[in-house]
Amino acid sequence: MQNTSMHTGRRGAATRQRGNSFWQRLSYSDDFWAYLFLLPTILGLILFSAGPVLAAGGISLTKWNIVDTPTWRGLRNYQKLFVDDLFWISLRNTLRYMLGAIPLSMLLSLALALALNQHLRFEALFRTIYFIPSICSVVALSLLWRYIFDRNMGLLNWFIGLFGMEPVPWLLVPRTAMPAVIIMSVWGGLGYPVVLWLAGLQGVPQVYYDAAQVDGAGTWARFRHITWPLITPTTFFMLVISCIGSFQVFAQTFVLTGGGPQRSTYTLVYFIYDKAFGNFEMSYACAIAYVLFFFVLVLTIIQFSLQARWVNYDIG
């Protein structure tokens, strides 16, 4: 009996020791603490992002106006989408915005970053000034530019009037409405790409420039053969993010033009909003959202598949 008690006590002590060692190892594990602190974010993504995305996929296969009970519709929402003239109008306007805003934003931000990278006086102040619009609300900036574009009292028309030009109805005619939205978007979002360009420029080793200067290379030659190849990773990242953001443009057109005039600024996301909350065609809006996701996914895959041809990750 005494031997049995001793063996039992030893097994219990060994079990407690193994248990204690497990929790001790776990408490010293960096992975455990990393996932523990990430748990609230992961749960939030599952509940408030992944869940609604999956629900939207199911809703897109039904007919639902938010009030009545959903009824099965299959793929008819998607079939209706591709014969809907408004869909093609919104897609064309979105592509117009993308082809206008992305090159202009990248060129201007690169030029500003190159200027700020020259170690100018008050460089930190200029960086702050250029970045301030990026932290402001898009709605607030849109309201500001709505007054700037005003035909009668706008600052922009006052400025061009100094050169004897007639006032331009920027937001009232289809010819100038989309360019006005692009101008406002580029100005409001210029700070973020400038910071990214600066980070890329400051990551280029100075020894390359010194060697090129010894060899007699000029400013353009140094930019073409040293700066540009070594900042292509930054360029690639900005191109991908800018394309995704262009497909999501909404607040600017909603505040500035309301999708007009004559639907010249009626973008894909505005189309989704109009169908979901204007006509209460929630299932149709979900189908549009999934098609929009497909466009963004395909475009991103194409960009990643082509990056090996022009992106240089070797800074060595």
Give the tens place of pLDDT for each residue, 56-103.
999 999 999 888 888 999 999 999 998 999 999 999 999 999 999 999
Q: Kindly give the pairing relationship between strand 62-63 and strand 71-72.
A: antiparallel
Helices (H), 149-277: 155-161, 174-188, 191-202, 206-214, 219-222, 228-230, 232-247, 251-256, 268-273
Longest C-alpha distance within the chain, in Å? Answer: 112
* Domain count for the chain: 2
Q: Which tokens sit at 166?
A: 């007639």
Range of the domain at 38: 2-59
Domain presence at residue 171:
yes
Quote the DSSP letter at residue 173. S
Domain presence at residue 71:
no
Give the tens place of pLDDT for each residue, 160-171.
988 988 899 999
Residue 93: CATH number of its domain: 1.10.3720.10
As a whole number of angstroms, the distance between CA 135 and CA 158 comes to 28
Domain presence at residue 316:
no
Q: Are residues 114 and 157 in the same domain?
A: yes
Q: Are residues 55 and 144 in the same domain?
A: no
- Contact present, 266 and 93 (Cβ < 8 Å): yes
As a whole number of angstroms, the distance between CA 97 and CA 177 comes to 11
Look at residues 92, 32, 147 and name the one whose alpha carbon lies nearest to residue 295.
Answer: 92
Determine the residue type at 183. Answer: I
Domain presence at residue 126:
yes
Give the tens place of pLDDT for each residue, 174-231.
999 999 999 999 998 888 899 899 888 988 888 988 888 888 888 899 899 889 999 9
Domain presence at residue 233:
yes
As a whole number of angstroms, the distance between CA 182 and CA 93 comes to 11
Determine the residue type at 169. Answer: P
Domain presence at residue 84:
yes
Domain presence at residue 72:
no
Q: Are residues 109 and 245 in the same domain?
A: yes
Q: Are residues 91 and 240 in the same domain?
A: yes
As a whole number of angstroms, the distance between CA 178 and CA 191 comes to 21
Q: How many CB atoms sit inside 10 A of residue 40's CB? A: 9
Q: Are residues 152 and 55 in the same domain?
A: no
As a whole number of angstroms, the distance between CA 181 and CA 188 comes to 11
- Predicted TM-score of the model (pTM): 0.84
- Contact present, 175 and 183 (Cβ < 8 Å): no
pLDDT confidence band for 316 (50 / 70 / 90): low
The residue count of the chain comes to 316
- Contact present, 242 and 106 (Cβ < 8 Å): yes
- Least confident range of 23-32, 143-152, 296-305: 23-32
For residue 20, what pLDDT is reported?
A: 57
Q: Are residues 137 and 27 in the same domain?
A: no
Q: Are residues 101 and 225 in the same domain?
A: yes
Domain boundary among 31, 59, 87: 59
Domain presence at residue 69:
no
Q: Are residues 40 and 147 in the same domain?
A: no
Q: Are residues 256 and 305 in the same domain?
A: yes
Q: Are residues 100 and 154 in the same domain?
A: yes
Q: Are residues 122 and 224 in the same domain?
A: yes
Our measurement of the distance from residue 263's CA atom to the centroid of its chain's CA atoms, rounded to an integer in Å, reads 24
Q: Are residues 33 and 135 in the same domain?
A: no
